[in-house]
A and B are shown apart, each in its own frame.
Chain A
Amino acid sequence: MAAWLLSARAGADPLRLRADAVADTQTETQSPTGLVVLQGEDKLRPWLGVEGLVWTGTKPGLTGDVLVLALHMREPHGYGELRVGRFVVATGAIFPVQIDGAEAIGRTPWGSTLEAFGGAPVVPRFGARTYDWLAGVRVAQHVASTVTMGVSYMQRRDDGEISNEELGADFAAAPAPWLDVAAKGAYDLTSPGIADGRVSAATRVDAYRFELFASEQSPGRLLPATSLFSVLGDFPSEMIGGTVRWAAAPRLDVLASGAGQLVGAELGMNAWIRSTLRFDEHGKGSIGLEVRRVDVSAARWTGFRVVGMQPLGGGFRFSSELEVAVPDDPNGRGVAWPWGLAALGWRSKGWEVAGAIEAASTPEYRYEANALARLSRTLELP
């Protein structure tokens, strides 16, 4: 096997490896400190690739996990694909789920696609469950490269019992270069009802892009049907809104979004506006401003955010970020929750070094300061 892999390297794309070591001083967080992340990908052959991403940390305890470890095979003409290993399945109206398993895709030149997948849902930190598996299928059809329609089905079992069973449909169309439309919806077969529905339509006119969107989501959909909290007959969360992007100047973008929300019997809204000014053609230096207002159910707050980044020469880069969240009802946890970060990074010939100071006042701690550091190395082996 090793000999075959080594022989396959002749004439293949380079092996890409990246290692990141991150250290921070946070004490009360689930995020590991002393983190090492290794990732790599290799195209052994044009039709065969492997990819991996693993991490290990020192808090809480010595821990680690595998996020991706997948073998990807592709029929040279694109008629079929096979993924084996640990990866995220996200297709059609099925919500993304990470599995240890396999996915096969078959395609025809006239645009029909058949996908089938199955495996065991991933349990963090190398955990395992018994009789916990899922399987699903999606059938889709492309029409004239501008329309795609699909139907999908997934069944998931937890300890042998059905924890999720959904039938979904998805649709995407680009009938004109300036118009994109997409929609998807999933129907819960265990507790009959709409589990998730989303629609988006976007158009471009000169320097503007407009998007209208709507969604209906049953929060209980994200719980396994074996959970007692999935039988409450939850209120769907409904949202309808729009987004506008305006290229106000060659280096200035303005993006604004507003949506009305209905959660239970309560009507709410969220809106934000963000502008980004680039200091150069490639946006290596930039400054951004954002204002946000959320007024939904028990979540009422206003936020301000400023970000800035500037190359300093010699591979150095300074970046800074400041955010202030002001809750309407602080409930004794501080009138405002400011957060700030100042970072200095350096990059040269595959090496990256970055350090930062982060300071905040949070509902948990009146004052908090952390130091963060990262050392990264990227390699391409012939």
Chain B
Amino acid sequence: MNARRHFALAIAMLFALTLAACVSVLGFPRTGTSHPFEHRAHVDKGIPCVVCHEGVEHAGDTSPLHLPTDAQCRGCHSKPHNEGSCRGCHGEASMREGASLAREHLRFEHAKHDPVVHGDCVRCHSAVAESRPQTLLPQMATCFSCHQHEDQWNLRGCDSCHVDLTADDAPPSSHVVHDGDWIREHGVRAGSERDLCSTCHSERSCAKCHGVGTVPALPAKMAFDDVRLEGLHRAGFRARHALEARADPGLCTTCHSESSCVECHTASHVSPQGTTRSPHAVGWVSVGRGGGEHGVQARIDPVSCASCHGGSGEQLCVGCHAVGSPGGSPHGPGFTSNKNRTHDMPCRLCHGTGP
């Protein structure tokens, strides 16, 4: 019993130690080190922002950040509790870096905004009232609350605020965030806003995946050492590509042409061209209702059939399915077409006098 209790205690201690280690590994702030600057305490005491951020009200687009120096802090805090730099503990490096990046990538002039808000900085920097703000940078929606940017949004005129979105290559933090399973989701999101996408993404962004004959430039191929990149073709995709294709019929030809399949399958000797080795199981084609498994599978994933039997290979089907032939009609229930059955392709292959 004792042994069992000691074992449980040891496990509990190990678990507690692991949790304690994870607190810092997971990014939770440690106590005793830097923390967000106590903006709220200063605001509560009614200290104007410009007392510390001296001159910021006159700052232009390329002015320095006007972050307070130790001397400015000690102007009020005449008896500091140690001789170290104030910003070593008060304020987080990541927030200062964020402000620096915003200065670099955004066009913004405090000098133009200060008179409009009559020195009320909180109007935009509302997060100073929070006890542990993630950032003090205003969200884009805050800009929109005053500026009638609807015209610029409609006209995709982002350059008036953003320096160079295409070159920045920085994911947005507060709007059109690429969150969740973005590879699947981006298609439906981009449908209505393709030109919005192009304000940040170059032509290459689309073409690297959606271009015909794109294989060499696929991000997964070029950046094989950046394992953070998501993508359909990462890791052992070549081994599992048949399973991936079957799980989502038609997905492959969203980007690839049928010839991509034919070229590779021919080289690998898994296509009818140039080999007698068939990838199909015995009984794949049988006479009778539905023509056996091949009839069902062809209607589930016709693209898969076309990837080997497309082009001139279609004659293989015509041999059995031409009007009057033993294969019967290959059309499924409810099939309709606006084509002329005797003149248009592919109808004339079976209904007409040939190609």
Give complex CA distance A91, B305 in Å.
28
Q: Determine if A229 and B306 form an interchain contact, defined as CB atoms under 8 angstroms apart.
A: yes
Closest to A317 in B: B225
Give complex CA distance A372, B283 in Å.
42
Q: Across the interface, which residues of A come within 8 angstroms of B152, CB to CB?
A: 78
Q: Across the interface, which residues of A come within 8 angstroms of B217, CB to CB?
A: 37, 53, 55, 67
Q: Determine if B155 and A250 form an interchain contact, defined as CB atoms under 8 angstroms apart.
A: no
Give complex CA distance A96, B151 in Å.
28
Q: Interface digits, A144-167 against B, CB 8 Å rule (1 contact, 0 not)?
A: 110011100000000101100000
Closest CB in chain B relative to A1 CB, distance in Å: 22
Q: Across the interface, which residues of A come within 8 angstroms of B168, CB to CB?
A: none
Closest CB in chain A relative to B297 CB, distance in Å: 8
Q: Determine if A161 and B345 form an interchain contact, defined as CB atoms under 8 angstroms apart.
A: yes
Q: Across the interface, which residues of B come within 8 angstroms of A231, CB to CB?
A: 330-331, 335, 337, 346-347
List 5 other contacts, CB 8 Å, given A222-B254, A229-B309, A297-B246. A88-B210, A109-B151, A170-B192, A211-B180, A233-B333
Q: Across the interface, which residues of A come within 8 angstroms of B100, CB to CB?
A: none
Q: Determine if A22 and B221 form an interchain contact, defined as CB atoms under 8 angstroms apart.
A: yes
* A45: interface (CB < 8 Å): no
Q: For chain B, what secondary structure do more than half of its interface residues adopt (helix, strand, loop), or is it mixed?
A: helix
Give complex CA distance A182, B300 in Å.
27
Chain A residues 164-187 with CB under 8 Å of chain B are 170-172, 177, 180, 182-184
Q: For chain A, what secondary structure do more than half of its interface residues adopt (helix, strand, loop), or is it mixed?
A: strand
Residues of chain B having any CB pair with chain A under 8 Å:
22, 25-29, 94, 141, 144, 149-157, 159, 164, 166-167, 179-181, 184-185, 187-195, 202-204, 206-208, 210-217, 221-222, 224-228, 234-236, 238-240, 242-250, 253-255, 257-260, 263-264, 267-268, 296-303, 305-306, 309-310, 314, 317-318, 330-339, 344-347, 349-350
Closest CB in chain B relative to A122 CB, distance in Å: 5
Q: Determine if B243 and A299 form an interchain contact, defined as CB atoms under 8 angstroms apart.
A: yes
- 5 pairs, CB–CB < 8 Å, chain A vs chain B: A145-B154, A182-B192, A190-B338, A251-B25, A325-B243
Give complex CA distance A113, B300 in Å.
38
Known: A78-B155, A299-B247. A356 touches B224 (CB 8 A): yes
Q: Across the interface, which residues of B come within 8 angstroms of A344, CB to CB?
A: 225
Give complex CA distance A192, B235 in Å.
39
Chain A residues 349-375 with CB under 8 Å of chain B are 354, 356, 358, 360-364, 372, 374
